[in-house]
Each structure stands twice: as C-alpha cells, then as structure tokens.
Amino acid sequence: MLDMFDLSGRVAVVTGSAQGMGRAMALALAEAGADIVLLDRNAAGIEATAHAISAMGRKALPLGGDVTDTDHIDGVFATVDKEFGRVDILGNVAGEAKAGPAEAMALSDIRATFHNLVISRYYTCQHAGRRMLAQGRGSIMSIGSISGVNSLGREQSVYGMAMAAVIQMTRELSTEWAGRGVRVNCILPAQVLGANGLGPRMEADPWLRDTFLRGIPAGRFGQPDDIKGLSIWLASDSASWITGAIIPMDGGNTAMNAGGGLLAPIMEKHLSKK
Ligand SMILES: NC(=O)c1ccc[n+]([C@@H]2O[C@H](COP(=O)([O-])OP(=O)(O)OC[C@H]3O[C@@H](n4cnc5c(N)ncnc54)[C@H](O)[C@@H]3O)[C@@H](O)[C@H]2O)c1
C-alpha cells in the first residue's frame, strides 16, 4: 500500500531548496527515494541540502544561480538531461517579492516581482513540462500563497497579484497537460516560519504576530516541514488523479476567509487614525 508513495528512481528539480519550504520539499522527496537537482542562488545553502540528501544515499546535484536568469535555467535543464536523462517532479518554490503601498510601487519592483514569482515558475514549467510530456508522466508543484486568493491587507498587492497568476498558471497548464500524463498542482501556504525573516519581524512587533495568529484557526504558524507529506503525496502515483488542485496549507486560514488576520494590518492602521 505504501508503495504508491515510493519515489525511487524518480528525478526531481526543486528551486529555492537552500532553506525553508524548498529545502523541506527536497529532503522529503529524497526520503521517499527520489534523486534531487537543487536550484537556488544561495550556493552554500544548497550544498548543505545536497549533503543531507547524499547522506540518505540519494543523488543530489546542487546547481546555484538565479531562477530569473533564463539562460541559466536552460543550462540547468541541459545538465539534468546529461546527468539523469529525465525529470519526473518539479517543485517551484524559490521566491521573493517587493512590498509597499500600491500608490507608490515602482515599476521596476513590480516587474522584478512578476519575473521572480511568475515568469520563472512558468519558464521552469515549460522546461520540465516538455520533458514530462515526452515521458508521458510527471508532477509539477508550485508554491502559491493564501495571498493569491485573499487580500492580506499588508501592502502586498504585487505579491498577491503574482501569486494569483501562479494559481491560474496551475489551472491552465493542468488542463492542457492532464490528458498527456502531466499533473500540475499548487500549494497555498499561510505564514510559515523559517529563515525568511518572518520570525524576527514578529519578534519586533508582537501585534503583527497576534494579528497573523488570529487568522490561523490551528493556533500555530506553519513550519517548513509541514510541506513534506503534501510534497511526497503530490509527487507520487498515489495522487495520480489529482491535478489542477489549489491546496491550502494554512492551518485553516482560507476556510475561515481570514486573510492576514481577522483585522487586516492595513485596516488597523486606518482605524487607529479615526
Ligand atoms: N513563508 C511564508 O510564510 C510563505 C507563505 C506563502 C508563500 N510563501 C512562498 O513560498 C516560497 C518559499 O517560502 P519560504 O519562506 O519557505 O522560503 P525562504 O524565503 O526561506 O527561501 C526562499 C529561497 O528561495 C531562494 N530564492 C529567492 N529568489 C530566488 C531567485 N531569484 N533565484 C534563485 N533562488 C531564489 C532564496 O535564496 C531562498 O533560499 C516563496 O515563493 C514564498 O513566496 C511563503
């Protein structure tokens, strides 16, 4: 029965795998048997992840560089072809965004955010998708965000717009590719701790911490490891009829329509002025 979760002999490419959810996803897929190609501009970070994967007896290929550099991504997939000759799993996790009041967002920051979160994810999907379609099998998982379906009220309009695009990319690609064996799904996390700066920001502002927690019925923040089981399931044959799914990983946030907390940070600012 547990054989259907076995990823032995599969090859996964995971971006953003130097830390946080990307690292946790890469480790989980390796624990389930896959060999992993690691992509992150934090070279030391992916070396460390690769080391942990090698210690499990799997192959790990750490390839540094920026996911917004399309020439680099071309080179990464050429290397994957040479080293493994196949791609079975893609985890699109790398990401960062510019934030600020909508009326003041610079065009360059809007472009950079869309390039980082949307174009890069689409471009890696194209590369992996072509190979998976030729194989007749593959699973793509992209990280979106709860901010792609609800406004968090944190002056993150561009991030929310980009994550909404990632969600729609998932629906479009899954529809195009489902009949040819390639599954495309999207995971929507709420606030997940890690080395991403969220912890220190909340330490400096306990109000922010309490506001976020009011939006998470489970009563705790996410941890990177919360993505492990979901990643193995989506990557494996046990999810063979799951495609086009937009899956909250949020301690209940979306179900309660809670966004960035029951009273969004931006609303509290406005109300306090009245
Ligand atoms: N942490 C959260 O609360 C949360 C919630 C919802 C969605 N997300 C999204 O999930 C993903 C992972 O978040 P996290 O907090 O686990 O990660 P993180 O911020 O801890 O790490 C992101 C990783 O991506 C890499 N990266 C960023 N831009 C890159 C680029 N252009 N090229 C190569 N590498 C790049 C970084 O070096 C880093 O290792 C991100 O896309 C984030 O937007 C995070």
Cβ–ligand 1 contact at 195 (below 6 Å) = yes
Is 122 assigned a catalytic role?
Answer: no
pLDDT of 196 higher than 80: yes
Q: Would you state the pLDDT for residue 266?
A: 65
In what order do the strands lie in the sheet containing 138-143? 60-64, 35-40, 11-15, 89-92, 138-143, 182-189, 246-249
Q: What is the pLDDT of residues 219-257, one digit of tens each?
A: 999 999 999 999 999 999 999 999 999 999 999 999 998
Cβ–ligand 1 contact at 254 (below 6 Å) = no
pTM: 0.96
| Average pLDDT value over all residues in the chain | 95
- Rounded mean pLDDT of 255-272? 72
Nearest ligand 1 atom, CA 194 = 20
Q: Which domains does the chain have, with CATH numbers?
A: 2-196+221-257 (3.40.50.720)
- pLDDT band with cut points at 50, 70 and 90 for residue 271: low
Task: Quote the CA–CA distance of 206 and 262 in Å, as a whole number.
Answer: 16
Residue labelled with tokens 């000759």: 85
pLDDT of 103 higher than 60: yes
Q: Would you state the pLDDT for residue 217?
A: 94
Residues β-bridged to residue 180: none
Cβ–ligand 1 contact at 37 (below 6 Å) = no
